[in-house]
């Protein structure tokens, strides 16, 4: 089995329903995978670069798990990318440490997934994969998991069901 690193970019998992559920299921069903909860490790956005690079070196497959915030990935995930993907590590004439690793995007949105071409918003991440020699494998997307739904027990149950289905689709992709 490949080494799977799941990087959670949610800025507050204590205020998450969908991403938290997805991460819990992945933890249970993929016990050999490793999860990095950026918000818990780096609440002040000061990233331990060496520690994060070590995790990336270990990984064969990197999953970026996040909620869509303003048609992008959360700031904390971008901060992680900016500080950890360094010249000489991920790119540059000697920066080949990510080469050959697989990248999967796994994200949730408030809007229905079909409402917008969300994948187009992540051209930056796909290009980052290309630039660093990673293989972009694909994305797993779940839409229609908005904040307002949390107030209504039936709609809250829908979020849980969607998150569980999301986790199953992601596991199927990872095991393929």
Ligand X SMILES: Cc1cc2nc3c(=O)[nH]c(=O)nc-3n(C[C@H](O)[C@H](O)[C@H](O)COP(=O)(O)O)c2cc1C
Query: In the complex, which residues of this chain contact ligand X (CB under 6 A)?
Result: 10, 16-20, 67-71, 108-111, 145-147
In terms of CB distance, is 106 or 128 closer to ligand X? 106
Closest CA to 25 of 155, 138, 139, 172: 172
* Residue 31 CB contacts under 8 Å (≥ 6 apart), including other chains: none
Which residue, 16 or 128, is less far from ligand X as judged by CB?
Answer: 16
Query: Least distance to ligand X from the beta carbon of 151, Å?
Result: 13
Shortest distance, CB of residue 19 to ligand X, whole angstroms?
3
Q: What angle do CA 142, 123, 99 make, to 5 degrees?
A: 100
- Nearer of residues 43 and 100 to ligand X, judged by Cβ: 43
To ligand X, the closest distance from the beta carbon of 163 in angstroms equals 8
Looking at beta carbons, which pairs linking 48-52 to residues 24 or more positions away fall under 8 Å? Answer: 49/83, 49/84, 49/86, 52/80, 52/83, 52/84
Q: Name which of 8 and 132 has its Cβ closer to ligand X.
A: 8
- Closest contact distance (angstroms) between CB of 111 and ligand X is 3
């Amino acid at each position: 089995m490949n080494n799977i690193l799941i990087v959670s970019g949610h800025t507050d998992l204590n205020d998450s329903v969908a991403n938290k559920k997805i991460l819990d299921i992945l933890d249970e069903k993929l016990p050999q995978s490793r999860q990095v909860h950026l918000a818990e490790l780096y609440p002040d956005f000061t990233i331990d670069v060496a520690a994060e690079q070590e995790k990336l070196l270990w990984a064969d497959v990197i999953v970026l798990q996040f909620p869509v915030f303003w048609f992008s990935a959360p700031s904390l995930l971008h901060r992680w990318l900016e500080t950890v993907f360094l010249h000489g590590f991920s790119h540059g004439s000697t920066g080949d440490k990510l080469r050959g690793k697989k990248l999967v995007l796994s994200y949730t949105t408030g809007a229905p997934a079909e409402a917008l071409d969300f994948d187009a918003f992540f051209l930056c991440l796909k290009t980052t994969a290309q630039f660093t020699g990673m293989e972009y494998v694909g994305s797993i997307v779940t839409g229609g998991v908005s904040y307002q739904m949390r107030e209504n027990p039936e709609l809250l149950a829908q979020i849980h069901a969607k998150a569980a289905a999301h986790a199953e689709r992601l596991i199927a992709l990872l095991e393929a």
